[in-house]
Structure formats: structure tokens, C-alpha cells
Structure 1
């Protein structure tokens, strides 16, 4: 089991070994048990961290703020529109100064072609851990919570059919970071991963190549289809979620002709009937109810979305504890 974590950046789980990710999960389960029994976990007492958000957040912000408080520290929420970033201050200068004032920096920046580069510039200039709270390419905190949830519900996840499925939504043009993280991570745990999407909503080819390499190395598989029913058929886990056409079209327009042509890509009770009887429905939330999914599905017996959301707290705490307090 890997034990040297102090100071390690978390930009993408692809840069962490499977053994390191296993350690995060072990710590997450331990912290969840202690949370349930009311046991104090003031492991990071007196520490402070900065939470920088370029976008809105519910689960990510609160899992970090509440989680760090439960670890005994103080998290300072920073709306970047009120920082000197809005006047052009560089990622380097921000990282150097904040890292001298606290013990960690976490940041969400999902702007296409900008977010991941911004985080990496921060990491190159910070003397404390940088944690990715979602960028244009990766959402490692969500990936960890998804994996924890599947292990809770399914036990052994090897050879389980896990389908990452594009779904119709109009709320905003969403990043590709959630499905990209999942398609890279899940094959490392021996899952049979299906990626289903309409043409035009491709993930980057380099990510697909990495996912296939992960599958070959760890005994998983990756199947890509443009047929929604194929992905649902006999699935153990379905994750129907919208993502934007950023790879093929960098326009920020939310609704366009391509999107409207795929209104039928929706998670319904009828299509859930194609899955295994004990299958689980997952979603990173917020779901675009009525478009991505029927209420009867997300509120139904297959859904584990609220457990999945709670696990954001426990996995976030594990990352903070290991990178800020580990050896």
C-alpha cells in the first residue's frame, strides 16, 4: 500500500498509480465509518486551504468545505471573479502567494482549452498540493466517488458491464471531464466499459487510446458504440449524462441542431428494462430532469445518486488527509 502522499498534486487520476487510488478508497471507507459513528477526525487541525472556483458548485464546494472542517481545518472559499485574477493576475503569481499563506489550494476551472493548463501552471509554481476540483478534461474527485459507490453496491467490480452513456440536456454546455475521467479510470479496475454517444460527441482520441491501454494492462475492456440500446442491454451500471461537443465544436452555444437531433437519448424506465434486474443508475448531478432522465428512474429503485453524492464528502476528505497529512 502506497503511503507517501504528502505534497502530491491531484490533477488527474491517470497520474496516480492504482495502488495509490486503492489507498484513497481505503481511507475513504474508514472516514465514512467514523462520520457515521460520530468519531472525531481532527487530523488536520490548524491547517488552512484555499478553494478557487471559476464556476458554480454545490457538491464539490460543500464536500470540500464540510470535509476539511471535519478534518479540523479551515477552507477559504474564493470566487475568482472577486480576485485579482479578474484583472489578469497569472496562475503562477496566484499559486506562489496562496501557497505561502496556507497548506493546499483546490481549484475548479472548466473553460475549454484553458482549465487544465491553468491547474498545471499552478502546480508548477505551488509549494503545497494542488487539487483539481474539475477542469475542462478531468474530474478526479467525481471519479473517486463513483468508484467508491460501485464498490459499495457491487462488491467485486471486475467484469461488470459499466455503461457511460451520453444523454440529452439543455441546461448548459457541459464539460467532457466526467465521462473522460470515468473512461480512463474504470478499465483499471477490470470493468467492461461501454462508451455510448451520438456521432459528434466524441471524446479526444488520445483519451480513448489511454483508456484502451488501461484496459489491456488491467484486464478490463472498452467498447465504443453509437447505439444507445446496446449500452443499456445487460448493463450492471448505467451512467447516462450529457456532455458537450467540445472536441468537434468549440462554440459555447448550449442548444444547436446537433443537440436537438438527439432528443431521444434519454434514460427512461423502458430502456432501463434492458439492464440487469439489479443494475444501478448513477449520475454526478445535477441531472437535467425530464431531459437526461425521467423522474421515475432517478427517484426509483435503481438509483444510487444520493449515496454517490455523499461519497464525494468521504473521498474528498481522504484526498485532503493523504496529500496534506500523509508521510
Structure 2
């Protein structure tokens, strides 16, 4: 089995250039769906996304991003669908996107980054809450600011969980890795000591009932699943009426169907 690779990472009799793989696979079906981040990309931030871009450049059929190290657009579609179902119109509504502790650091920034972009496009006011080591991609933040200017949305950053959740209509709290401790080049390795230390300093970043009481009346909790119970969120919250998590998970089916219908049968959703 040969591993698809970009031109600068080819190994004889081990890899096959993405450009070749894309053209072959696109002759076998009507679309290509790819999910790639972390170890397959050497944890180099952006490397997995570059693989998807290379596939898309050479493929003759649509390429669907099922999650890379930068973005998770399919999850964001289900997230916004759930927010609309629960809140109705989203313009001016307050969304807190918060980092949360996990015993594992192996989670990309794809979900919060895609959600941030999608939320401000709908006009939601977004508060990003995270400890200082867990800032998002500066390019994504700049793009979000541009979208916010177009829609009138506001973006605020805080390093205090309680401040971030305060008066929010929806709280989306999950863990993600620190970009500061990822390698800059292939083969360099993750700074696991620094990464783990950053996580352990913030074990108290968990959404429990006391935290949710700071949010607005009838506020909901969201998470993309799977969730680390007792770390990212308490059982009390995720099993409560305030949890929109399982509705959100069910909406992944409808969001994926919509993507495939749009790509494979253009005009079918109009």
C-alpha cells in the first residue's frame, strides 16, 4: 500500500504523489472524501490541508473535506443548522466558542476555526475563550474579522472561561491542541512536554452546571463528539435539557446529504 504524498515528501517504493492518486481515484467515482490530520501529516500544521488542496487541484470530481488540520466545514454546517433550529435567526445572537481540558492533546483546531468563520457569516457575535497557549490561526482570525465587517458580527477574545460563557445563547466548548507546540517541518516532532504542560495548567477549564448557569436563559451546550466526559464537560451538563449535542450529531447526516446533493446534482437544493 503506497501512501499519498506531496512532492517534497516522496519516498521511493513507499509513497505515491498526490497528483497521481487524485487522477486515478477521480476516475473511479463521483466524489472523493478525505479526512486527514495529525500523525499522517507529521503534526505539521497546515500539511494535511495542503494534501487536500493538492487532491482538489488534480481531481476531476469534487473533493470533500471531512476534516483536516485547519478546517472541518462539514461539522460547521451541522453546527449552524443546530443553532438555527434552536435559536431561530442568528444575527446578534451570542456564541461562546471555548477551549476545554482533555487528557489528550491530539485534537486539531479545525472545529473551532470552521465554526468561528461560519458563525460570523451568519451575523453571530462570537466570544472566543481559551488560555493563552491555545490561540487560533492568525490567518483564520483575520478572515473571520473580514466576514464580521460584512455581516455586522462582533468577535471578542478572553482568557477567562467564566467571562466567555457569560450571557451566551450557546456554549460550544471542546479541546484543541496548542499550535505553539506543533513542529514547523516534517520529522521535527511535537513538543509533547510543552504541550502536556499547557494542558495540565488548565485542567479547570470544564463546562459544568455552575459554568452553564453563567450563560443566558435557556442557553445550550454543543460539542462535535466524541466528548471527554468529566474533562471537557460534566455528565450533568451533557445529559441535561441544555445539551443540544445529540441533535447536533444527528444533523451531521442531513448536512452531509446536502453537501453531496449540491455537488453531485447541482441545482437540486434550489
TM-score (norm. length: structure 2): 0.87
321, 324, 327: which one aligns with 2:261: 321
Q: Which residue of 1 aligns with 2:220?
A: 280
102, 109, 115: which one aligns with 2:48: 115
48, 55, 80: which one aligns with 1:147: 80
Q: Which residue of 2 aligns with 1:253?
A: 192
CA distance in 1, matches of 2:206, 2:129: 12
22, 28, 33: which one aligns with 1:106: 33
Asked if 2 retains the 8 angstrom alpha-carbon contact of 1:202 and 1:248, the reply is no
Across the aligned residues of Structure 1 and Structure 2, the Cα RMSD in angstroms comes to: 1.4
SS in 1 for 2:83: helix
Q: Which runs of 5+ in 2 are unaligned?
A: 5-13, 39-44, 184-189
TM-score (norm. length: structure 1): 0.73
1:240 Cα offset (Å): 0.7
1:205 Cα offset (Å): 1.1
Q: Which residue of 2 aligns with 1:84?
A: 2
1:247 Cα offset (Å): 4.0
Which structure exhibits the higher relative contact order, with contacts defined as CA atoms closer than 8 Å and separated by 6 or more residues?
1
Q: Which runs of 5+ in 1 are unaligned?
A: 1-82
Query: 2:159 aligned with 1:222, yes or no?
Result: no
CA distance in 1, matches of 2:121, 2:33: 25
Query: 2:177 aligned with 1:244, yes or no?
Result: yes
1:84 Cα offset (Å): 2.1
CA distance in 1, matches of 2:46, 2:118: 22
Q: Which residue of 2 aligns with 1:306?
A: 246
CA distance in 2, matches of 1:313, 1:247: 34
